[in-house]
């Protein structure tokens, strides 16, 4: 869900995705490369993102990822599921 959310803001390369998630989470989350790239491959295989080679800001070849229409739909589903789950967890945690 976090990768899809980061890519909803625009196409970017893997390192940029990790940095964007960290930035959006106010440095409370860090995405490790060993977790990110396998997730990107799985998400791409599901058709939620596309990728293509391009040049990064520092003129290095990098694979850039972008959200597909199917990925946008999946993000909406996951955001809805997260909202319901977080409400349920909050209810349990506030029980007396």
pLDDT tens-digit profile of 43-96? 999 999 999 999 988 999 999 999 999 999 999 999 999 999 999 999 999 987
CA dihedral (18, 30, 3, 50) in degrees, to 10, reads: 30
* CATH 1.20.950.20 for domain 2-93: no
Predicted local distance difference test score (pLDDT) of residue 96: 77
The domain locations on the chain are 2-93
CB-based contact 66:15 (threshold 8 Å): no
Q: Please compute the mean of the pLDDT values over residues 33-51 and round it to a whole number.
A: 97
Q: Does the predicted model carry a pTM greater than 0.85? A: yes
d(CA 65, CA 42): 13
Tokens of 41: 């491959």
């Amino acid at each position: 869900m976090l990768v899809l959310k980061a890519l909803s803001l625009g196409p970017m390369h893997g390192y940029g995705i990790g940095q964007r998630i960290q930035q959006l989470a106010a440095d409370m989350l860090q995405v490790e490369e060993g977790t990110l790239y396998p997730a990107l491959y799985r998400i791409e295989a599901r058709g939620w993102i596309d990728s293509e080679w391009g040049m990064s800001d520092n003129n290095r070849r990098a694979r850039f990822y972008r959200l597909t229409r199917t990925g946008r739909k999946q993000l909406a589903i996951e955001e809805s599921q997260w909202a319901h789950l977080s409400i349920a967890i909050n209810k349990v945690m506030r029980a007396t």
